[in-house]
Protein backbone atom coordinates (compact mmCIF):
# COMPACT_ATOMS: atom_id res chain seq x y z
CA UNK A 1 0.00 0.00 0.00
CA UNK A 2 2.99 2.28 0.47
CA UNK A 3 3.46 2.57 -3.29
CA UNK A 4 -0.15 3.62 -3.74
CA UNK A 5 0.12 6.32 -1.07
CA UNK A 6 3.28 7.56 -2.77
CA UNK A 7 1.33 7.97 -6.01
CA UNK A 8 -1.15 10.19 -4.17
CA UNK A 9 1.61 12.17 -2.47
CA UNK A 10 3.52 12.71 -5.71
CA UNK A 11 0.44 13.98 -7.53
CA UNK A 12 -0.63 16.27 -4.68
CA UNK A 13 2.77 17.87 -4.29
CA UNK A 14 3.16 18.26 -8.05
CA UNK A 15 -0.23 19.97 -8.12
CA UNK A 16 0.92 22.54 -5.56
CA UNK A 17 0.07 21.12 -2.13
CA UNK A 18 2.12 22.87 0.56
CA UNK A 19 1.38 20.80 3.66
CA UNK A 20 3.02 17.36 3.32
CA UNK A 21 1.69 16.03 6.61
CA UNK A 22 -1.89 16.85 5.61
CA UNK A 23 -1.24 15.28 2.19
CA UNK A 24 -0.17 12.02 3.83
CA UNK A 25 -3.12 12.06 6.24
CA UNK A 26 -5.51 12.56 3.34
CA UNK A 27 -3.90 9.73 1.39
CA UNK A 28 -4.36 7.28 4.24
CA UNK A 29 -7.97 8.40 4.73
CA UNK A 30 -8.70 7.85 1.05
CA UNK A 31 -7.14 4.38 1.07
CA UNK A 32 -9.31 3.40 4.03
CA UNK A 33 -12.39 4.65 2.20
CA UNK A 34 -11.51 2.65 -0.91
CA UNK A 35 -11.10 -0.44 1.30
CA UNK A 36 -14.57 -0.27 2.90
CA UNK A 37 -16.11 -3.76 3.22
CA UNK A 38 -19.29 -2.98 1.26
CA UNK A 39 -17.27 -2.35 -1.91
CA UNK A 40 -16.81 -5.13 -4.44
CA UNK A 41 -16.03 -3.20 -7.62
CA UNK A 42 -15.33 0.33 -6.34
CA UNK A 43 -12.21 -0.87 -4.57
CA UNK A 44 -8.47 -0.23 -4.52
CA UNK A 45 -8.37 -2.37 -7.66
CA UNK A 46 -10.63 0.06 -9.54
CA UNK A 47 -8.67 3.05 -8.26
CA UNK A 48 -5.38 1.52 -9.37
CA UNK A 49 -6.77 0.64 -12.80
CA UNK A 50 -8.01 4.21 -13.30
CA UNK A 51 -4.66 5.65 -12.22
CA UNK A 52 -2.83 3.32 -14.60
CA UNK A 53 -4.92 4.52 -17.56
CA UNK A 54 -4.32 8.13 -16.56
CA UNK A 55 -0.57 7.50 -16.42
CA UNK A 56 -0.68 5.85 -19.86
CA UNK A 57 -2.43 8.81 -21.50
CA UNK A 58 -1.23 11.64 -19.25
CA UNK A 59 0.29 13.53 -22.17
CA UNK A 60 -3.22 14.12 -23.56
CA UNK A 61 -4.23 16.33 -20.62
CA UNK A 62 -2.91 19.77 -19.65
CA UNK A 63 -3.19 19.09 -15.90
CA UNK A 64 -2.67 15.33 -15.43
CA UNK A 65 -1.81 15.60 -11.73
CA UNK A 66 -5.19 17.19 -11.03
CA UNK A 67 -6.78 14.35 -13.00
CA UNK A 68 -4.90 11.89 -10.79
CA UNK A 69 -6.20 13.63 -7.66
CA UNK A 70 -9.72 13.55 -9.07
CA UNK A 71 -9.35 9.82 -9.71
CA UNK A 72 -8.44 9.30 -6.07
CA UNK A 73 -11.48 11.27 -4.93
CA UNK A 74 -14.10 10.33 -7.53
CA UNK A 75 -15.56 7.34 -5.67
CA UNK A 76 -14.09 8.13 -2.25
CA UNK A 77 -17.64 8.41 -0.93
CA UNK A 78 -19.53 5.37 -2.14
CA UNK A 79 -22.87 4.30 -0.69
CA UNK A 80 -24.92 2.07 -3.01
CA UNK A 81 -28.07 3.22 -1.21
CA UNK A 82 -27.46 6.90 -1.97
CA UNK A 83 -29.88 8.48 -4.47
CA UNK A 84 -28.95 10.07 -7.78
CA UNK A 85 -25.55 11.74 -7.89
CA UNK A 86 -25.22 12.03 -4.12
CA UNK A 87 -22.01 9.96 -4.05
CA UNK A 88 -20.34 12.15 -6.66
CA UNK A 89 -21.42 15.35 -4.92
CA UNK A 90 -20.24 14.08 -1.54
CA UNK A 91 -16.96 12.90 -3.09
CA UNK A 92 -16.43 16.36 -4.60
CA UNK A 93 -17.08 17.92 -1.19
CA UNK A 94 -14.57 15.56 0.42
CA UNK A 95 -12.03 16.41 -2.28
CA UNK A 96 -12.40 20.11 -1.54
CA UNK A 97 -11.96 19.50 2.19
CA UNK A 98 -8.89 17.25 1.93
CA UNK A 99 -7.12 19.27 -0.73
CA UNK A 100 -7.75 22.59 0.99
CA UNK A 101 -6.26 21.17 4.18
CA UNK A 102 -3.28 20.00 2.13
CA UNK A 103 -2.66 23.56 0.96
CA UNK A 104 -3.53 23.04 -2.69
CA UNK A 105 -4.21 26.34 -4.49
CA UNK A 106 -7.88 27.29 -4.61
CA UNK A 107 -8.19 27.05 -8.43
CA UNK A 108 -6.69 23.55 -8.35
CA UNK A 109 -9.12 22.46 -5.62
CA UNK A 110 -12.02 23.78 -7.69
CA UNK A 111 -10.79 21.94 -10.78
CA UNK A 112 -10.48 18.62 -8.96
CA UNK A 113 -14.01 19.06 -7.61
CA UNK A 114 -15.29 19.81 -11.11
CA UNK A 115 -13.63 16.71 -12.50
CA UNK A 116 -15.09 14.49 -9.77
CA UNK A 117 -18.59 15.75 -10.58
CA UNK A 118 -18.12 14.82 -14.25
CA UNK A 119 -18.09 11.14 -13.31
CA UNK A 120 -21.77 11.31 -12.38
CA UNK A 121 -22.84 11.30 -16.02
CA UNK A 122 -19.59 11.12 -18.01
CA UNK A 123 -20.73 13.98 -20.25
CA UNK A 124 -17.59 15.85 -21.28
CA UNK A 125 -17.16 18.92 -23.42
CA UNK A 126 -15.01 18.09 -26.48
CA UNK A 127 -12.52 20.79 -25.45
CA UNK A 128 -12.14 19.40 -21.90
CA UNK A 129 -9.03 17.23 -22.19
CA UNK A 130 -8.68 16.74 -18.43
CA UNK A 131 -12.30 15.64 -18.15
CA UNK A 132 -11.85 13.34 -21.14
CA UNK A 133 -8.87 11.64 -19.54
CA UNK A 134 -10.65 11.05 -16.24
CA UNK A 135 -13.88 9.78 -17.77
CA UNK A 136 -12.09 7.56 -20.29
CA UNK A 137 -10.08 6.04 -17.45
CA UNK A 138 -13.19 5.54 -15.32
CA UNK A 139 -15.01 3.75 -18.16
CA UNK A 140 -12.05 1.69 -19.37
CA UNK A 141 -13.48 -1.40 -17.64
CA UNK A 142 -16.34 -1.44 -20.14
CA UNK A 143 -13.93 -2.42 -22.91
CA UNK A 144 -12.24 -5.31 -21.10
CA UNK A 145 -12.50 -8.89 -22.42
CA UNK A 146 -15.91 -10.50 -21.72
CA UNK A 147 -14.81 -12.61 -18.72
CA UNK A 148 -13.34 -9.54 -17.01
CA UNK A 149 -16.38 -7.44 -17.89
CA UNK A 150 -18.63 -10.14 -16.43
CA UNK A 151 -16.66 -10.06 -13.18
CA UNK A 152 -17.14 -6.29 -13.10
CA UNK A 153 -20.89 -6.65 -13.65
CA UNK A 154 -21.12 -9.32 -10.95
CA UNK A 155 -19.23 -7.11 -8.51
CA UNK A 156 -21.64 -4.25 -9.16
CA UNK A 157 -24.54 -6.60 -8.46
CA UNK A 158 -22.95 -7.55 -5.13
CA UNK A 159 -22.72 -3.88 -4.19
CA UNK A 160 -26.45 -3.63 -4.81
CA UNK A 161 -27.36 -6.88 -3.06
CA UNK A 162 -30.00 -4.99 -1.07
CA UNK A 163 -31.97 -4.30 -4.27
CA UNK A 164 -34.50 -6.98 -5.31
CA UNK A 165 -33.69 -8.63 -8.62
CA UNK A 166 -36.57 -7.12 -10.66
CA UNK A 167 -35.74 -3.62 -9.45
CA UNK A 168 -32.04 -4.16 -10.04
CA UNK A 169 -32.65 -5.25 -13.62
CA UNK A 170 -34.64 -2.09 -14.32
CA UNK A 171 -32.10 0.20 -12.64
CA UNK A 172 -29.05 -1.41 -14.18
CA UNK A 173 -30.67 -1.44 -17.62
CA UNK A 174 -31.24 2.30 -17.27
CA UNK A 175 -27.56 2.84 -16.46
CA UNK A 176 -26.42 0.75 -19.42
CA UNK A 177 -28.84 2.43 -21.79
CA UNK A 178 -27.56 5.81 -20.62
CA UNK A 179 -23.98 4.80 -21.37
CA UNK A 180 -24.91 3.52 -24.81
CA UNK A 181 -26.73 6.80 -25.49
CA UNK A 182 -23.68 8.97 -24.76
CA UNK A 183 -22.44 10.91 -27.81
CA UNK A 184 -19.24 8.91 -27.42
CA UNK A 185 -18.13 6.44 -24.77
CA UNK A 186 -14.51 7.58 -25.07
CA UNK A 187 -12.96 10.89 -26.12
CA UNK A 188 -9.20 10.50 -26.41
CA UNK A 189 -8.13 9.22 -29.85
CA UNK A 190 -6.43 5.98 -28.81
CA UNK A 191 -9.14 4.77 -26.39
CA UNK A 192 -11.84 5.79 -28.86
CA UNK A 193 -10.27 3.61 -31.54
CA UNK A 194 -9.39 0.64 -29.37
CA UNK A 195 -12.18 0.54 -26.80
CA UNK A 196 -15.43 1.75 -28.37
CA UNK A 197 -16.42 -1.43 -30.20
CA UNK A 198 -15.68 -3.91 -27.38
CA UNK A 199 -17.34 -1.62 -24.82
CA UNK A 200 -20.51 -1.30 -26.85
CA UNK A 201 -20.55 -5.07 -27.37
CA UNK A 202 -20.21 -5.72 -23.63
CA UNK A 203 -22.86 -3.16 -22.70
CA UNK A 204 -25.30 -4.47 -25.26
CA UNK A 205 -24.73 -8.05 -24.18
CA UNK A 206 -25.39 -7.24 -20.50
CA UNK A 207 -28.40 -5.10 -21.38
CA UNK A 208 -29.87 -7.94 -23.41
CA UNK A 209 -29.41 -10.36 -20.51
CA UNK A 210 -31.13 -7.93 -18.12
CA UNK A 211 -34.15 -7.31 -20.33
CA UNK A 212 -34.63 -10.92 -21.42
CA UNK A 213 -37.86 -12.29 -19.97
CA dist., res. 48 & res. 140, Å (int): 12
75 CB-near residues (< 8 Å, 6+ apart): 34, 42, 46, 47, 87, 91, 119
- The 10s digit of each residue's pLDDT in 88-142 is 999 999 999 999 999 999 999 999 999 999 999 999 998 999 999 999 999 999 9
- The 10s digit of each residue's pLDDT in 132-182 is 999 999 999 999 999 999 999 999 999 999 999 999 999 999 999 999 999
- The 10s digit of each residue's pLDDT in 32-70 is 999 999 999 999 999 999 999 999 999 999 999 999 999
CA dist., res. 139 & res. 128, Å (int): 16
CA dist., res. 17 & res. 65, Å (int): 11
Of 122, 98, 2, which Cα lies nearest the Cα of 50?
Answer: 122
Record the pTM: 0.96
Amino acid sequence: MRGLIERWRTAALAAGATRPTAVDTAGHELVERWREPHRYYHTIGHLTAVLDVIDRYASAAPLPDLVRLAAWCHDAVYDPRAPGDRNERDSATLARTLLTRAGLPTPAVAEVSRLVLLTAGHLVDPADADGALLCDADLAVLATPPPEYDRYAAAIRREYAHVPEPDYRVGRAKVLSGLLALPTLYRLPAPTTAWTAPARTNLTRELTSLTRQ
